[in-house]
A = this chain, B = another copy of it.
Amino acid sequence: MAKRKSLKTDPCPVARALDAIGERWSLLIVRDAFDGMRRFGEFQKSLGVAKNILADRLHTLVEEGIFTVAPASDGTAYQEYVLTPRGLDLFPVVVGLRQWSEAQLFAPGEAHSTLRQRASDLPVRKMEVLAEDGRILRAGDTVVHKVAPQ
């Protein structure tokens, strides 16, 4: 793989986020973990990705503190990949991607998986950027304050 510009110390949080989880497959592994998957073979079967690429992505996600490696919950010799608090905190990002895609990338009536509340089977609310008083904020209602260069 070509050497790449690292954004790991970038003062923009969006850039630093994408340095950690912006590789192809990384967020799909996180998605699968939210769906209950824990083992290499489960991720591999779900994603259909080459084993060496999956191993690389899992290694990076562990290094980034998004997954931790744990012994198998059933006492077998397998390793399991478990989301850490840092990984679990990606839930709004994954749901935001889902909702954008549902609204923008599917034809009306086209079948897709849906996210529902476990207890009630109701859908979840559309995620929006909100002011403290609950008003919806569009991009133009906001501004980014940059950090002065060191």
Residues of A whose CB lies within 8 Å of any CB of B are: 4-5, 11-18, 20, 22-24, 27-28, 31, 34-35, 48-49, 65, 86, 88-106, 111-120, 122, 124-125, 127-132, 134, 137-147
Task: Given A100-B93, A115-B144, verify A22-B24 contact (CB < 8 Å).
Answer: yes
> This chain: how many copies in the complex?
2
Q: Are A11 and B139 in contact (CB under 8 A)?
A: no
Inter-subunit contact A88/B147 (CB<8 Å): no
Once bound together, how far apart are the Cα atoms of A107 and B117, in whole Å? Answer: 34
A92 with B100, Cβ < 8 A, contacts A118-B143, A142-B124 known:
yes
Docked CA distance A136–B104 (Å) = 25
Among A13, A31, A88, the one with the most B-chain Cβ atoms within 10 Å of its Cβ is A13
Measured between C-beta atoms, what is the minimum distance from A99 to chain B in Å?
A: 8
Which 9 pairs of residues, A with B, have the shortest CB-CB distance? A13-B101, A17-B101, A17-B97, A125-B130, A93-B96, A13-B98, A96-B96, A111-B147, A91-B139
Which residue of B has the minimal Cβ distance to A27? B18
Starting from the known contacts A22-B24, A34-B139, A34-B144, 13 additional A-B residue pairs (CB-CB under 8 Å) come to A5-B49, A12-B31, A15-B31, A18-B97, A86-B104, A88-B138, A91-B139, A92-B127, A93-B93, A116-B145, A117-B141, A118-B143, A127-B127
